[in-house]
Structure 1
Amino acid sequence: MRALFSFIERSENSRMYADEEVQFVILDGAQMTTKEEAHAHLKQQFNFPDYYGNNLDALWDLLSTWSDPLYVRLINSEALYQSLGSYGVQLISVFTDALQENSKIRFEISHEADFFENVIL
Structure 2
Amino acid sequence: MSEPVEKRVVVPADIDSIEGLYAFLQESLDFPGWFGRNLNALWDCATADIEKPVCVVWPRHWTCGNPYHYLEAIRMLDVLREASQENPNLRVEMSD
Which range, TM-score by smaller chain? Answer: 0.7 to 0.9
* Aligned partner letter, 2:29: F
Match of 1:74 in 2: 57
Q: For structure 1, which segment, 72-81 or 62-71, has the greater mean C-alpha deviation from structure 2 after superposition?
A: 72-81
Following superposition, the deviation at residue 81 of structure 1 comes to 8.1
Question: Which 10-residue stretch deviates more, 86-95 or 74-83?
Answer: 74-83
TM-score of the two chains, using structure 1 as the length reference? 0.64
SS of equivalent residue, structure 1 residue 85: helix
Q: Deviations over 1:76-98 (max 9, x none)?
A: 43117844121111010011101
Match of 2:3, SS state, is: coil
In terms of Rg, which structure is larger? 1
Is the 8 Å Cα contact of residues 22 and 68 (structure 1) preserved in structure 2?
Answer: no
Counterpart among 102, 106, 113 of residue 91 in structure 2: 106
Counterpart of 1:91, as a letter, is: M
CA RMSD of aligned residues (A): 2.4
Identity %: 24
Q: Where do 5+ consecutive residues of structure 1 fail to align?
A: 1-17, 112-121
5+ residue gaps, structure 2, are: none
Paired residue secondary structure (1:59): helix
| Structure 1 counterpart of 2:21 | 38
Matches within 5 A, 1:15-34: 19-34=2-17
Greater than 6 Å deviation, 4+ residue runs:
none
Question: Number of matched residues?
Answer: 94
Q: Judging by fraction of residues, say which structure has more helix.
A: 1
Q: Deviations over 1:47-99 (max 9, x none)?
A: 22110101111111011113523222325431178441211110100111011
Whichever residue aligns with residue 35 of structure 1, its letter is I
Q: Which has the higher contact order (CA 8 A, sep 6+)?
A: 2
Secondary structure in structure 2 of the residue aligned to 1:33: coil
One-letter amino acid of the counterpart of residue 108, structure 1 = E
